[in-house]
């Protein structure tokens, strides 16, 4: 296991950089690329389960749609899942696309503070990046484009209430389809 100092060093190392900058063959950080970086940086062989535990502790991983909503929006999100989400999954299947749920969490206990922007696929695959938080940052265009990958896959992205629609990237390629999760307008950064 990583010591707390090593974990904080790792978070700082990941801040604002992508795996390809370390010679890793990933567009965004994943459990596997993080496992490889930990092995290289700390000479510490951790299995995927241990690295997954760190990601869950950081607030990343699959969550139910209702967990992505603030308390005032839960019933709207539940209605959305029943009425609109099935059409999104059908459209994704037709285009051989993947569906990702995008959100942001604040990592506590890091100096300076860190935000983790993550995308969790409907299959449970986590892809993420760590940033230094700013006041009301927009959804990073670079993050959204990297989800599509070098292969320029079609992706459907469900964006939680972390970003109001006016903070979404504009003029995205047609292969990237953004869908808003219902929100009462209160940005939630857990």
DSSP state, 136? S
Domain holding 48, by residue range, is: 4-57
Beta strands at 176-180 and 126-131: parallel, antiparallel or unpaired: unpaired
Using only the alpha carbons of the chain, give its radius of gyration.
Answer: 17
Q: Are 160 and 68 in contact (CB under 8 A)?
A: yes
Q: Which two tokens stand for residue 132?
A: 């230094």
Question: From first to last of its 190 residues, what are the pLDDT tens digits of the chain?
Answer: 899 999 999 999 999 999 999 999 999 999 999 999 999 999 999 998 999 999 988 888 777 777 777 777 888 889 999 999 999 999 999 999 999 999 888 888 888 889 999 999 988 899 999 998 777 778 999 999 999 988 889 999 999 888 888 899 989 999 999 999 887 754 434 3
Same domain for 52 and 79, yes or no, is: no
**Total structural domains in the chain?**
2
Position 25 in a domain: yes
Position 189 in a domain: no
Same domain for 71 and 159, yes or no, is: yes
CA–CA gap between residue 101 and residue 146 (Å, rounded): 14
Position 52 in a domain: yes
pTM for the model stands at 0.88
Position 186 in a domain: no
Same domain for 124 and 107, yes or no, is: yes
DSSP lists the bridge partners of residue 157 as 100, 178
Same domain for 50 and 75, yes or no, is: no
């Amino acid at each position: 296991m990583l010591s707390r100092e090593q974990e904080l060093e790792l978070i700082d190392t990941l801040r604002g950089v992508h795996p390809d900058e370390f010679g890793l063959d990933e567009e965004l950080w994943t459990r596997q690329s993080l496992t490889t970086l930990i092995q290289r940086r700390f000479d510490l062989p951790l299995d995927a389960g241990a690295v997954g535990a760190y990601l869950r502790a950081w607030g990343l991983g699959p969550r139910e749609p209702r967990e992505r909503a603030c308390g005032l929006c839960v019933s709207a999100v539940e209605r959305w899942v029943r009425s609109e989400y099935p059409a999104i999954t059908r459209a994704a299947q037709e285009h051989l696309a993947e569906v990702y749920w995008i959100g942001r969490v604040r990592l506590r206990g890091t100096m300076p503070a860190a935000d983790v922007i993550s995308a969790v696929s409907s299959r449970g695959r986590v892809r993420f990046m760590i940033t230094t938080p700013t006041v009301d940052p927009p959804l990073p265009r670079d993050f959204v484009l990297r989800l599509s990958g070098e292969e320029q896959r079609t992706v459907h992205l469900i964006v939680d209430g972390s970003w109001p629609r006016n903070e979404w990237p504009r003029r995205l390629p047609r292969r990237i389809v953004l869908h808003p999760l219902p929100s009462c307008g209160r940005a939630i950064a857990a």
